[in-house]
Chains A and B, each alone.
Chain A
Amino acid sequence: MRFVDEFREPELITKTADEIRRLADPQRLYRLMEVCGGHTHAIYRFGLKDILPENIELIHGPGCPVCVLPMGRIDDGLSIANDPQVIFTAFGDMMRVPGTQGSPLEHMARGMDVRIVYSPTDALKLARKNPDRHVMFFAIGFETTAPSTALTLMRAKAEGIPNFSVFSNHVTIIPAIRAILDSPDMRLDAFIGPGHVSTVIGCRPYEWIAKDAGKPIVVSGFEPLDMLQAIVMILRQLNAREARVENQYKRVVPWEGNRSALKAMGEVFQLRPYFEWRGMGFISQSALRLRDGYAEWDSEQRFHIPGVRVTDPKAAQCGEVLKGVLQPHQCKLFGRECTPEHPVGALMVSSEGSCAAYFNYEHRKTASMSLLSPTA
């Protein structure tokens, strides 16, 4: 696969890992946070931790839009679809996320019309094909995904499609990073920046992280060579006591971002004054809702939603794992009450949540694994 396989070349991966080993000062512990859930997934999928030196710690950040969605919002979305006239559509990621009465898949088993879509435009197509039903799109995602929802809504409005609405749970990444940095027990040296969010917002929005918080941030792609190169760039900055924004993912991320995408977002969405992030509490100006001009396509305006707040069990230590204070397996519920099959907290509900990723890919590796020799 072009633009994928080149960045998985084993020899180059080994070479880059060697460079990391050369750059990492053995007297020092480096704590790097990868913000985006996609990066968390990549780290585990490609076994990158196995080839990094022991003194580089990768802390998994809050960039998993499914994980940070409060249970109450899932209940809200599903309550709209209780009406048999409504078709509930969402990305596959949402299907197993539990609300208080079960997940969308479980609701489907009980008779609700629930459909997986790959694109918001597929949901709109469904609305055009089924004029006697109402199609609700349960929208999730950071700024990578919000412009696509926005464009879809602009089309719905332009065509005057009456039976389509969006339940927006889009969130924005900068306030989440700010919340991490503002946290008193935060101990991070640098950030691996979200590659695909940056195709939309560009690299400028991260400048305060370097200037004000003094932490290097390197925007990174998702292939093994991308992430390893980003770590090289971070180590070089840290060793030189620098703090800058750098773009490792140049083949895809424009420094200024995507103007069309930002314009579409601005046209359709406005910032909510505050929004609850599961495991992190309320964060101001961190989520998007539809503007008044799009009220007709706003599920929250067209339908009554319960809006009940559901709190996580106190025993779940998601907040501490999110901030890098605890590793997933150090949470008291990990692997016991809380597993991917029956998730208790935010980070277990989605496959790229840090606890789920750790559970699925890592935690049964025994100490003898470090002695595993690479295959010939």
Chain B
Amino acid sequence: MTTSPVIPRQSAPALSLGPAAKTVDAMKIYGKEQTEVRALDGVTVEFGAEVFTAIMGPSGSGKSTLLHCVAGLDDLTSGHAYIGDADLSRLNDHALTLLRRDRVGFVFQAYNLLPTLTAQENITLPQRLAGRKPDQEWLTRVIQTMGLQDRLRHRPTEMSGGQQQRVAVARALAMKPQIIFADEPTGNLDSRAGAEVLAFMRNAVDVMGQTIVMVTHDPLAASYADRIVFLADGRIVDEMVRPTAERVLERLKLFGD
């Protein structure tokens, strides 16, 4: 844990900055008629800028679907999802791709990196896809914040799971995105590596003013967030600000399974 930065949490997140992303009456329905499944059933939620938000809920609650839809990876059956003021439902595939590339960062549970590229190449991938020169100063800051100075020439197979996820977070940060979406980023890591990655993510919000939305089922992971949105059966059922692991665990017990 020598690389883990110990930085005090800011007292109160600036909830007043306005949303970096939001959904309005989001519906996502799979199947038809009798076999119909409402993965999202009228979700209206805002994700504030410079806030670390966690989405939680039992299996099948729609938490991943919500993340995918607001991130522009999947489309809604009805309702709207916005990143900034862009209405995702009005964008075609190409425009969505460019929006993801230029304004959104992603961290997935596994398989975040291209095995053929080095850590550095992976980090700068979105810029290079856009054909832009990376902002070297920002990049150095990101790499330092993620503690990756010594790993830049390594390929994914030569790095630990935690290091790989840190590269993924660095890649998400590299484009100075409006918002970062993380889908169970620590799901494949042991608790120590997981804590390390989460601390770096926390750092990104506190030090670099980033916005993160993270889906997780782990109360400990969620406790790193500023705010938690609880989902059940495709609806928002609760919220929690400045959570602790104990309080999250207590809340989850109420779901009763």
Decide if A and B are genuine partners.
no
Listed in ascending order, the chain B residues whose CB lies under 8 Å from chain A are none
